Structure 1
Amino acid sequence: MEPISISQPSSLQELTVAAICGNLAQTICEEMGSQLKLRHDITLPLNIATRILNFLIKSLNLDPMQEQDKSDVLLKFFKLFTDASRCTLNKIALYKAPISDDIVEVMIDLAKSHSLTEIDLSSSSDTKADYRANSAPYNHSLFLMRFLIDVCGKTLKSLILTNTSFINSIQQISSLSGKKAKVLGQDQYLASDATIEDMPFVFSVNNSPKLENLDVSSPFTGWFIGIDPEAPPLLRSLSAGGYSEKRLNSSIKEILRNIAFGEPDYPVPAEMPATIAYPKSERKMYKYRFFSRLGSNKDCFEKFVKYCKVREYIEEDDILEEKREQSVVPGNFILHHLNILSMKETLVRLSLFGTYLSLKDLEGTVFQLKNLVHLDLGWPKHQGRDMTTRFRPGGITVWQILDTFPRLRSLDVSGTPWAQVLYEEAEIEDDGRVLKMDREREPLEFLGLWGTKTAKLKNIHLLADRISGEGSLEQLVLCLELYLHSSKVISNVMSNISEFLEETMSYERPEYLLGLIVQIIKRNRYNSTMLFECVACVYYLLQICAKSLDRFKKRSVIEALVMIIENNISTGYVQSQLLRNSMILFSAFQLPQDVMFDFDHIISLGLRIFQEMRDTSEIGMVAGSLCNALVCTVEMDVKSIVRKHNFLEIMINTIKQRLQEKNADEVLETAWSALWNLTDETPKNSEDVIGSGGLDLFIQCYKEFPQSNELHRNMTGMIGNISEVGYLRHHLAKKEYVEIYCALAIVPGSGIEVGYNASGILSNLLVDKSDILKDFDRDVLRGKIRESVLSWDVDVARNINYRTFAPLLAVLECRGEPEAHLWVIWALQNLCDRDGKYVNMIIKEGGVSRVTEIRDTTDDDVLKALASKIVVKCDEKAAVSSI
């Protein structure tokens, strides 16, 4: 298997396509009712149109089990490109698409309109493809391949059907047609007159003259596909991996038996079963034009039976079943169907990864393809040798394979005894095992050794330039490239990569690896085990490269994390831990800036989890912290956006619940912290907090939890924000509130932050120009502020951030309140010592003149000394800037 190419959104063209797809209505489209239409003055060239369509499809994150709305959007995107006079396509790439009759119809329309050269239906399925009530549990996805070859087979170069499943269509055709269905009266429920004779399809040079690449890797697609050995297509690449069974399962064997020998008579049962589908009249067949293409398939059917040796295989399988002779080793049925030897002159690439192979298959078929350049015979499961030999016969060595194929440049023998034997035969030296070369050889370009110890040999590089295995992080990353479609392998690989990253915390290509993992997440969105490993790897990689990621790569990672969160909201232990780990990863980004493209969606998810799982303390705390971080800015209008998500109500209700439970946990602290951020420089939110009873909750929490220092810090921080709003201060000047501010201003052993916040509240009340403190002894309040400030170390490092000094400088503008000034000047001096940006902020916001005035007029030695230091720092900064 050759490494796949992982594209990154870095070129100007890719960035342009991303911008267009994110703003269709403002760029290339106009809405016509519920449909999209290209603008009359827009013409899209081949490269751009193809990229736009496939970008739009990829952005949907399709899934066959999804709701109908995404299928409808997919149809809109397809129909946008059906007019070939306005745009040109050459490739359609679907992944996990729900293939309904509507999808079949529009894909045929696209194929008729454009000269398609590549069609990719990887992991697409007809299962639950159409949710609408008037649709029968049957569609024509099985015939899509046949229709496409009929329409664009003359231009098609690549057809990729990796893991594509038409099992629903297969079952419906086999159960609702033929003699049995007629006896049961069920044949009338078919959506068309299709029977099992319409199911097989045979590729030939006549119907696919330019086809070079065919991928039918999956345990489904190859059942009814064959190659015409008398006129084979000129394939250069064939992938038929995943056919791991030595024998067919009973249901498929029955269908193939009916194809090969005809359907047996079916006796009338004593009691007729209930009908199982909608009447065909309700299907509204007339609206699908592709029904006209369901012509006779007799010629293809006869070729399939004859050339794919279906009768011979069924008879051979019957003998094995009857005799149950373990000594008789069957060949793989997929090799019967594909007639690989008929293409030995053209085939240069063959992948049979995970496909069972007998010795007869290898010696009689595979080893006869002397022109192969790339050969994949790997086995996906990380198993011991005894288990692997059931699917890969012994007695074959890597040296024999290399000698058999003189042109070979890429070989995958992962998980096979043929690779493991190199390790077992290696020479043992003091510092490890060394590969025992049988002779000097030119190194391959690639050698797959995953699932064996061989990749760890010291000199294994003598066999290939690039090696996949477990010997190094680079080998493991190569495994990700190779086995992206194989969840069996990827889960183990991710576990190994996680261990490497945890140990080293370094990698030369972190952004590239991150891109691979994002793809894996999107392909395995419901595989919790694998997602755990992916999230762990993302964590380590973000530690390495988060700051260097461009916004498109950041967006890609964030979208993957959101997908994990959305698909795993549950109270189950596994899902809860996955939620927790995924939400924690958001801390590696700049919030909320990096998530503004999907802010509403992300904040709603965070609030939902916080609300539903706040009693699961850790999950609730993490979700609350995420919500908190999302509103922790005033540069963007997020504090007003969150009103429609009931942000304030959820936090208030959480506080009430914790009070009722008498539980001062981290969730309660997080809720108050969220209100602190929500009210920062946002008077409307401060009003809402007061209107929601936030001040009463402040008193209740203080009285109920008198020793909770972190809680007091968050509560006084929020009250401090309200105190900065002049017209709201009178709400804070009640006796019972002010007594608490005074008490919190001086709490021995509590650190600085609670006292700082409480002193700030008192300072703002003192400088208010109204008479809100007429019932208080102002000197007592001033004394509390002074005593508190003088107890602090001005050189202490603090976890605080100011965007502007406007609220602090406003306090300085009020004359006659030196204690309030002392609080502000102490804060400015402390901040200026920590970070030069704060010196610039004082200068920019005009604070130097006011600080200088205080220095020159105050009789307070402490205040004068602090102010003097600030002025000196500002003067020094200004002098440097003027040079």
Structure 2
Amino acid sequence: MGSWPKESPLSLEQICIEYCVNNLWLLVEEYPLMQGVYFRPSIAFPRGLSDKLLECMISKIPYLKIMEQNIFRLFCDRSYCVLTCLNLRHTSVDLKQLKHLCQHPVSEIDISYCEEIRSNYISAINQAGPNLKLLRMGGKLEGYENLTLYEELDTMYDLDRGDILRNNDKVLNCPNLLSLTIKDVNFIEFNPDEDCDNYHDDPNGIQEDEKLRNFFKSLFQPMIKLTQLDLSGCQLRNDYLDILSSLRCLTFLSLSDVLDGSVSALKSIAKIRGLRHLDISQGNDDTFNVPVRYSHPEAVLAELVQSLPHLTSLDISGTNLAGINHVEPSSHRLKPKSSTYIEEEPVSCCIRGLEGRHFDFLGLLDCTGDACYRQGIPAKLITGEASEAQILLSIHRYRDKPHLLTRGLNNLFQWFRNPPPNITDHCCALEGILHGMNLNKHDKHVQISGSASLFYIAKGPHKESITSQQKKRMIDCLLDAMERHNTETTMMRNGCLTLCHAEIPKDVMYCYDRLVKVLVNMLKVEMRQEYGDDFIPRIGIFLLNSLACQVDGKHKEAVGNLGVVEMMCKIIKHKLTLAECDEVLEVAWSTLWNVTDETPSNCQKFITEGGMQHFIACVEKFPEKEELLRNMMGLMGNIAEVKELRVQLMDPKYMSVIYSFLSSTKDGIEVSYNSAGVLSHIASDSPETWTIESPTRNEVLRGIVQAIERWPLSSKRNINYRSFEPILKLARCYHTPAVQQWAVWALCNLTQVYPDKYFPILETEKGIELLNVVFANPSTLPAVRMLANSILDTYRKFKDGTEQIMEDVVMASESEDDEHL
């Protein structure tokens, strides 16, 4: 089992880089005439640090208040920074910016899955010239055309002479290139349709397929130093592969999802005799879980392997090249009794064609004949589904092959969901999933399958071992997937379920706004689909409520600005239309209660969105729903705390409903208590502000006192105060004794039932001093004085008990010290 990494802080360098990125506006200036932002003249980043700064910026694009295009513009000027590595995978860098960035002395470029770069990019890459050692490009993106060489061929081909003239017959002028990845590119674009009888010829009589072969030759043949080539998913003619035999240094060749059972292609590959690693796996959607079949597979495999004497790594996943499992006939005769010496019988090779060879790696995922389950597989490392080791190796090995990775992740999920057997190495699984999801953000199948297993890791027996950095990467991964694939219900479900196992809000404070946006947008999408799955709104509102209930006013205000109040009001309106009171409706009101707590701007948003009309409608339609009534009245209390908004509550239809709840016994004392609180705040203003005839102010004040006298002082509460400031204001309300009585009763109840929680708050906000003043004031009513005295008496006992506990701790510590003397 792999060990979990130790919890450790970020390096000082990383902390500084993240600080710079998080405070980017300290480093840049906006130049309207130049239509962009640029580093300040005094700013300069050295080689190495510039790469890390760009990488950090790209990873934080969703958090930054700067357009992604402006980030790339920042790095176009080489006088401020020097880049050596361009990892632009999955970004929206455009061709113009790429040309500027490639003027840096870069040795590595990755423009895989870049939606803005689909053609005319070769000239930009050639600017890197002799410095370039690694290049990755291409990759399928849903909704975009595949990367094409069509324009490159047009611009480089001289129709008068019929050959390629530029860059000394080189397409890529990168003489020191060691590693090249080109994915999902069509190298037979100009081939005729199957129905055509003749090739399309140019005016000089040169057939299109000949042009493309010459182009392919001009692209690869000059790369004399190339050691690694990955053409996964490309469309090639089999005879093109002969050209690769001229690459004398080539030791690594990946043709995953290329050959489709072509024996002639394998014969061409066999000529590249220096290969040490060969990948001819198949996993594309056309053959999903149906292995690609070669004719005479065992003979074909044997011939291929015999032709490649240096081969130590071979991947034939998703094919029939492993043949069938040949079981040796066994005798039923009794064996002689064992002697003192037992000779261990060698296990014969279970794959015809590989006899006499032993590999460092063999890929057997989804091969025919259950190849990965066989005994005697001639390899140290094997991908497949027969064991935990095979499954975990699959998700690590195929992290840049989305089709095979999806299969590996599905196998992992099945083991998590249906034990035994169990996945024991959760750390290895977690790292494999995160790497795979990050490299394949575009692929919804990878994201859905990966997030399904993340759920089991997040809630599993090793969840306490997950480091804070791993947890952060996991949350980032989920948010990336939920942003890109927000119409995929399964993806949103998996993401929300996994996030529920995070410690909210602590684990997500660094991405608080981003998470709120994701959840609000998810609810918008779900509303457009008319709640096809009721689970999504339930869990989305639950998470928003969790995010809102334990943060301060700054974050509550941010939640309001991100559209949560409007969204909750829409959900409430929808539920009213359906006349449906369920958990979604109740939690929507609970969320509004939390986001309006000591946040006047959100209270105003609620009123603006027609919230008071929704309140009346819910009371009329669902008068017996205790949880609903409690949440709504809590929200009314938050509005009543805002002096400027009380006038909007001073309406007979609102006040009569709130007043009627004074006598309510629903949900213990909660509904009645909240009603009294709302009315106390309104009555705390001068009598002149009471502008309605019914109920009268005196009726309300009498009702408050009568309600207080009914409530048991020891009542358990379903409420959470983070501050007593609004209540302490009412405790100073000598001109209206009923209001003061409600405030002091509330403090007495809370500190008596929950002293450890609420006395520290009361101390911090100078409530003890205020209660001493209230107790000593001769105008204080006897009932209020008695409550204040009770609080002060309980406080003295609380302090004495705390001091006694501290004395006991000190004495115990001194006693231990004496023992060690």
Same fold (TM over 0.5): yes
Deviation at 1:706, TM superposition (A): 1.2
Instruction: Give the AA of the match of 1:262.
Output: I
* Alignment RMSD: 5.6
Instruction: Give the AA of the match of 1:33.
Output: M
**Counterpart in 1 of 2:435?**
516
**Counterpart in 2 of 1:155?**
131
Instruction: Verify: 1:92 aligned to 2:93, yes or no.
Output: no
**Counterpart in 2 of 1:118?**
108
Q: Which one of 351, 362, 368 corresponds to residue 447 of structure 1?
A: 362
Cα distance change, pair 391–215 in 1 and its aligned pair in 2 (3 A) = farther
Q: Which one of 748, 760, 781 corresponds to residue 704 of structure 2?
A: 781
Cα distance change, pair 736–847 in 1 and its aligned pair in 2 (3 A) = same
**Counterpart in 1 of 2:818?**
none
Query: What is the distance in 2 between the residues matched to 1:385 and 1:644?
Result: 45
Kept after mapping to 1: 8 A contact 2:396/2:436: no
Query: What is the distance in 2 between the residues matched to 1:298 and 1:392?
Result: 29
Q: Which one of 533, 544, 552 corresponds to residue 449 of structure 2?
A: 533
The aligned runs of 1:30-429 (5 Å cut-off) are: 31=31, 33-56=34-57, 74=69, 80-84=74-78, 86-95=80-89, 103=95, 107-108=98-99, 110-111=101-102, 113-124=103-114, 140-141=120-121, 144=122, 148-149=125-126, 151-163=127-139, 197-198=163-164, 208-221=174-187, 250=194, 262-263=206-207, 333-334=237-238, 336-337=240-241, 339-344=243-248, 346-356=249-259, 358-359=262-263, 361-362=265-266, 364-367=267-270, 371-380=274-283, 388=291, 390-391=293-294, 393-396=296-299, 408-419=311-322, 421=324
Aligned-pair identity in percent equals 23
Query: What is the distance in 2 between the residues matched to 1:849 and 1:106?
Result: 65
Cα distance change, pair 680–411 in 1 and its aligned pair in 2 (3 A) = same
**Counterpart in 1 of 2:512?**
596
Cα distance change, pair 469–201 in 1 and its aligned pair in 2 (3 A) = farther
Kept after mapping to 2: 8 A contact 1:455/1:467: no
Kept after mapping to 1: 8 A contact 2:627/2:667: no
Instruction: Give the AA of the match of 2:761.
Output: M
Deviation at 1:718, TM superposition (A): 0.9
Once the two structures are superposed, what CA deviation does each residue of 1:303-355 show, in whole Å capped at 9, x if it has no partner?
769989xxxxxxxxxxxxxxxxxxxxxx98356345333345x3332223333
Cα distance change, pair 566–124 in 1 and its aligned pair in 2 (3 A) = closer
Deviation at 1:715, TM superposition (A): 0.8
Deviation at 1:400, TM superposition (A): 8.7
**Counterpart in 2 of 1:710?**
627
Query: What is the distance in 1 between the residues matched to 2:135 and 2:514?
Result: 35
> Please, which runs of 5 or more residues in structure 1 have no aligned partner?
1-7, 62-69, 130-138, 179-191, 225-246, 265-296, 309-330, 429-433
Q: Which one of 494, 514, 517 corresponds to residue 409 of structure 2?
A: 494
The aligned runs of 1:686-725 (5 Å cut-off) are: 686=603, 689=606, 694-695=611-612, 697-725=614-642
Once the two structures are superposed, what CA deviation does each residue of 1:744-783 show, in whole Å capped at 9, x if it has no partner?
4565674564355345446667877869674227555333
Cα distance change, pair 14–194 in 1 and its aligned pair in 2 (3 A) = farther
Deviation at 1:847, TM superposition (A): 4.6
Once the two structures are superposed, what CA deviation does each residue of 1:698-746 show, in whole Å capped at 9, x if it has no partner?
3443233211222111111112223445676677687776665565456
Cα distance change, pair 299–627 in 1 and its aligned pair in 2 (3 A) = closer
Query: What is the distance in 1 between the residues matched to 2:220 and 2:384?
Result: 42
**Counterpart in 2 of 1:3?**
none
Q: Which moved more, 1:696-705 or 1:442-451?
A: 442-451
Cα distance change, pair 256–468 in 1 and its aligned pair in 2 (3 A) = farther
> Please, which runs of 5 or more residues in structure 2 have no aligned partner?
1-7, 223-234, 332-344, 691-695, 777-781, 811-821
Query: What is the distance in 1 between the residues matched to 2:97 and 2:611?
Result: 57
Cα distance change, pair 483–200 in 1 and its aligned pair in 2 (3 A) = farther
Kept after mapping to 2: 8 A contact 1:521/1:560: no
Query: What is the distance in 1 between the residues matched to 2:357 and 2:663?
Result: 79
Kept after mapping to 2: 8 A contact 1:122/1:160: yes
Query: What is the distance in 1 between the residues matched to 2:172 and 2:439?
Result: 38
The aligned runs of 1:401-800 (5 Å cut-off) are: 408-419=311-322, 421=324, 436-438=347-349, 445-452=360-367, 457=373, 464-503=379-418, 507-509=426-428, 511-513=430-432, 515-519=434-438, 522-524=441-443, 527=444, 529-544=445-460, 557-558=474-475, 560-568=477-485, 575-576=488-489, 578-583=491-496, 585-589=498-502, 590-591=504-505, 593-596=509-512, 598=514, 601-602=517-518, 605=521, 608-609=524-525, 612=528, 618-633=535-550, 635-641=552-558, 644=561, 647-648=564-565, 651-652=568-569, 655=572, 658-659=575-576, 662-686=579-603, 689=606, 694-695=611-612, 697-725=614-642, 740-741=657-658, 744=661, 750-751=667-668, 753-758=670-675, 760-761=677-678, 774-776=697-699, 778=701, 780-789=703-712, 794=716, 800=719
Kept after mapping to 2: 8 A contact 1:201/1:301: no
Query: What is the distance in 2 between the residues matched to 1:195 and 1:662?
Result: 77
Kept after mapping to 2: 8 A contact 1:755/1:788: no
Question: Secondary structure of 1:417's partner?
Answer: coil
The aligned runs of 1:14-25 (5 Å cut-off) are: 14-25=14-25
Cα distance change, pair 537–426 in 1 and its aligned pair in 2 (3 A) = farther
Query: What is the distance in 2 between the residues matched to 1:414 and 1:706?
Result: 63
Instruction: Give the AA of the match of 1:159.
Output: L
Query: What is the distance in 1 between the residues matched to 2:197 and 2:806?
Result: 84
Query: What is the distance in 2 between the residues matched to 1:385 and 1:631?
Result: 44
Question: Secondary structure of 1:160's partner?
Answer: strand
Kept after mapping to 1: 8 A contact 2:297/2:320: yes
Cα distance change, pair 124–719 in 1 and its aligned pair in 2 (3 A) = closer
Cα distance change, pair 777–94 in 1 and its aligned pair in 2 (3 A) = closer
Once the two structures are superposed, what CA deviation does each residue of 1:561-596 show, in whole Å capped at 9, x if it has no partner?
4554445555xxxx4454455455554453473433
How many residue pairs end up in the alignment? 738
**Counterpart in 2 of 1:806?**
725
Instruction: Verify: 1:829 aligned to 2:752, yes or no.
Output: yes
**Counterpart in 2 of 1:841?**
761
Kept after mapping to 1: 8 A contact 2:186/2:236: no
Kept after mapping to 1: 8 A contact 2:366/2:384: yes
Cα distance change, pair 392–41 in 1 and its aligned pair in 2 (3 A) = farther
Deviation at 1:676, TM superposition (A): 1.3
Kept after mapping to 1: 8 A contact 2:672/2:707: no
Deviation at 1:542, TM superposition (A): 3.2
Kept after mapping to 2: 8 A contact 1:839/1:874: no
Kept after mapping to 2: 8 A contact 1:376/1:412: yes
**Counterpart in 2 of 1:876?**
801
Q: Normalised by the size of structure 2, how large is the TM-score?
A: 0.71
**Counterpart in 2 of 1:26?**
26
Kept after mapping to 1: 8 A contact 2:263/2:300: no
Q: Normalised by the size of structure 1, how large is the TM-score?
A: 0.67
**Counterpart in 2 of 1:312?**
none
Cα distance change, pair 859–223 in 1 and its aligned pair in 2 (3 A) = closer
**Counterpart in 1 of 2:819?**
none
Cα distance change, pair 568–334 in 1 and its aligned pair in 2 (3 A) = same
Cα distance change, pair 304–768 in 1 and its aligned pair in 2 (3 A) = closer
Kept after mapping to 1: 8 A contact 2:238/2:265: no
Question: Secondary structure of 2:87's partner?
Answer: strand
Query: What is the distance in 2 between the residues matched to 1:838 and 1:458?
Result: 66
